[in-house]
């Protein structure tokens, strides 16, 4: 039995844990988001309306842009001004295709406006200059008169935008410049100096953090530049095989690959704990956030697609992976203030897939949907059954509990492929109202949505719950996520 004690609320679950990442990569920005003002696909100011409506429904809190590896070769000035005059470039990281620069700063803020989401921009350290980064921040945020503010006005935007989050480089240990930790830490110190606060709003500065278990990177960054940053990032992808050269198929896999995927996903907990422990040493007050600004599944690309486009299908396995990650982020949300799944549309573990005018929601999208009531809620450290670790139900089960607006949200995941999980949840008071009872399940391990069958995997009402006073008795089938919201 899971026991929820009154007052077991420990920390807030920032809604930004449900952030997204949209890079100039494959068909994420172009086709997935931006179709242009002359497109026959329904759009508002060039941004497709079906995608915006779907993303608004899962309350996307913020969007990280423009990359990724792309960020360190992006020169923002090429992406402003009349679109017909913007120079094209080659996207050397991703497929060698022509990047038209049609989607730039103004289009990004238009997207955020339509989504009602916050900005998180990653600046170019790898191949850009300090002045270029300074100018971008000035262009976006300075009210009044200055060369960059005047340029913005000439481009049709009188008021500055809000820029709450700014990343200083991306994967500077790899595609962002192959730097050593000390080299980057010194670059960070210099570049961040010129990420100036022009308006009322402070800019939360995020330093490039470690790849997976590179704890030395975290140590050096915190020791050398910890006092100058607000957040430090971490990137960790779930690759079923653990091998970059043959990661595994998104849809064609067996039991062994399923469980390998679950195990590799759960390694996130160790990474969060160990990176946090290093941060605690330098920053015991937990001022600096751990920002997991890239996570998700990474499989072999869909056969027949450009391998540089990182297109992959998305099954109930991906939804379960998302739920397990959310559970870990909730538990560590005293340090983990934001995360960004990679990526929002048509790339890696996407929410949405598009094909011309058509769009489908993936199982991962529905996992996000099932967790919306956890946004900005209090994490409740509910006690597991004797013998289970906190948050776990036996070998395959997991739970997370939060509290907000006088109601508890309880999510239970069965990450197994075999038996149902039977679990009782004891709440501090009698249940009087069931606000939501939903289940996301797959008929098979690789159940997924296609353009021909877009609703194969989608939430249904959850009926397998008996309420007995203050107790919920749940039966959660294999490969399922259940969310109950009760007051
Ligand atoms: O998300 C795809 C790529 O993965 C990003 O561009 C890069 O930061 C990471 O290696």
Concerning whether 171 is annotated as a catalytic residue, the answer is yes
Question: What are the E-state strand segments in 307-461?
Answer: 336-342, 352-355, 358-361, 378-380, 392-393, 397-404, 407-414, 421-426, 434-441, 460-461
Per-residue pLDDT tens digits for 364-410: 999 999 999 999 999 999 999 999 999 999 999 999 999 999 999 99
Active site residue: 99, 171, 257, 398, which one? 171
Per-residue pLDDT tens digits for 137-150: 999 999 999 999 99
Phi then psi dihedrals of residue 72, to 5 deg: -85, 5
Phi then psi dihedrals of residue 193, to 5 deg: -55, -35
What is the CA(417)–ligand 1 centre distance, in A? 30
Concerning whether 273 is annotated as a catalytic residue, the answer is no
- pLDDT over threshold 90, residue 7: no
> What would the mean pLDDT of 90-105 be, rounded to a whole number?
95
Q: Encoding tokens for residue 197? A: 């606060």
Residue 12 pLDDT: 98
Query: Atom 3 (ligand 1): residue with closest C-alpha?
Result: 68
Taking the C-alpha atoms of residue 400 and residue 381, their distance in angstroms, rounded to an integer, is 8
What is the CA(69)–ligand 1 centre distance, in A? 6
- Say yes or no: CB of residue 230 within 6 Å of ligand 1: no
What is the CA(341)–ligand 1 centre distance, in A? 11
How many residues belong to the chain? 487
- Say yes or no: CB of residue 23 within 6 Å of ligand 1: yes
CATH of domain 380-486: 2.60.40.1180
The preferred substitution site among 27, 67, 293 for testing ligand 1, maximizing ligand atoms within 8 Å of CB, is 67
Whether residue 285 contacts residue 255, with contact meaning beta carbons closer than 8 Å, is answered with no
- Say yes or no: CB of residue 294 within 6 Å of ligand 1: yes
What residues does CATH 2.60.40.1180 cover in the chain?
Answer: 380-486
* pLDDT bracket for residue 265 (50, 70, 90): very high
SS3 297: strand
* pLDDT bracket for residue 349 (50, 70, 90): very high
Residue 6 pLDDT: 86
Per-residue pLDDT tens digits for 145-170: 999 999 999 999 999 999 999 999 99
SS3 68: coil
Per-residue pLDDT tens digits for 172-191: 999 999 999 999 999 999 99
What residues does CATH 3.20.20.80 cover in the chain?
Answer: 12-377
Q: Which CATH superfamily is domain 12-377 in?
A: Glycosidases (3.20.20.80)
């Amino acid at each position: 039995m899971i026991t929820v004690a009154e007052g077991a609320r420990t920390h807030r679950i920032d809604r930004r844990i449900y952030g997204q990442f949209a890079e100039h990569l494959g068909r994420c920005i172009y086709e997935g988001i931006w179709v242009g003002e002359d497109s026959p696909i329904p759009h508002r100011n060039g941004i497709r309306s079906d995608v915006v409506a779907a993303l608004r429904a899962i309350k996307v809190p913020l969007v990280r842009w423009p990359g990724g590896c792309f960020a360190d070769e992006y020169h923002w000035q090429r992406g402003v001004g009349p679109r017909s005059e913007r120079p094209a470039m080659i996207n050397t990281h991703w497929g060698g295709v022509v990047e038209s620069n049609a989607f730039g700063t103004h289009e990004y803020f238009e997207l955020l406006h339509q989504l009602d989401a916050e900005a998180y921009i990653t600046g170019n350290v790898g191949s850009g200059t300090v002045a270029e980064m300074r100018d971008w921040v000035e262009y976006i945020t300075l009210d009044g008169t200055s060369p960059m503010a005047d340029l913005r006005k000439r481009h049709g935007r009188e008021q500055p935008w809000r820029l709450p989050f700014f990343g200083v480089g991306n994967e500077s240990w790899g595609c962002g410049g192959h730097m050593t930790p000390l080299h980057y830490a010194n670059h960070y110190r210099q570049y961040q100096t010129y990420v100036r606060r022009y308006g009322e709003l402070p800019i939360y500065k995020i330093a490039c953090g470690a790849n997976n278990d590179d704890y030395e990177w975290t140590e050096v960054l915190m020791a050398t530049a910890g006092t100058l940053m607000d957040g430090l990032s971490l990137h960790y992808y779930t690759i079923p095989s653990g091998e970059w050269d043959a990661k595994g198929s998104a849809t064609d896999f067996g039991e062994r690959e399923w469980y390998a995927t679950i195990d590799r996903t759960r390694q996130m907990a160790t990474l969060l704990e160990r990176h946090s422990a290093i941060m605690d040493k330098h920053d015991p007050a937990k001022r600096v956030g751990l920002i997991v600004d890239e996570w998700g599944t990474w499989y072999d690309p869909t056969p027949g697609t450009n391998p540089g486009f990182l297109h992959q299908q998305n099954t109930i396995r991906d939804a379960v992976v998302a739920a397990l990650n959310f559970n870990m982020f909730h538990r560590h949300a005293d340090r983990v203030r934001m995360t960004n799944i990679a990526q929002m549309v048509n790339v890696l573990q996407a929410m949405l897939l598009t094909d011309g005018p058509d769009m489908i929601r993936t199982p991962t999208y529905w996992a996000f949907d099932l967790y919306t009531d956890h946004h900005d809620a209090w994490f409740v450290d509910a006690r597991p059954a004797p013998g289970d670790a906190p948050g776990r139900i036996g070998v395959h089960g997991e739970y997370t509990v939060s509290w907000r607006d006088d109601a508890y949200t309880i999510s239970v995941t069965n990450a197994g492929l075999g038996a149902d999980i039977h679990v009782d949840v004891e709440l501090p008071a009698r249940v009087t109202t069931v606000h939501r009872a939903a289940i996301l399940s797959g008929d098979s391990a690789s159940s997924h949505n296609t353009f021909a069958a877009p609703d194969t995997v989608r939430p249904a009402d959850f009926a397998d719950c008996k309420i007995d006073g203050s107790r919920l008795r749940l039966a959660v089938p294999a490969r399922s996520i259940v969310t109950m919201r009760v007051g």
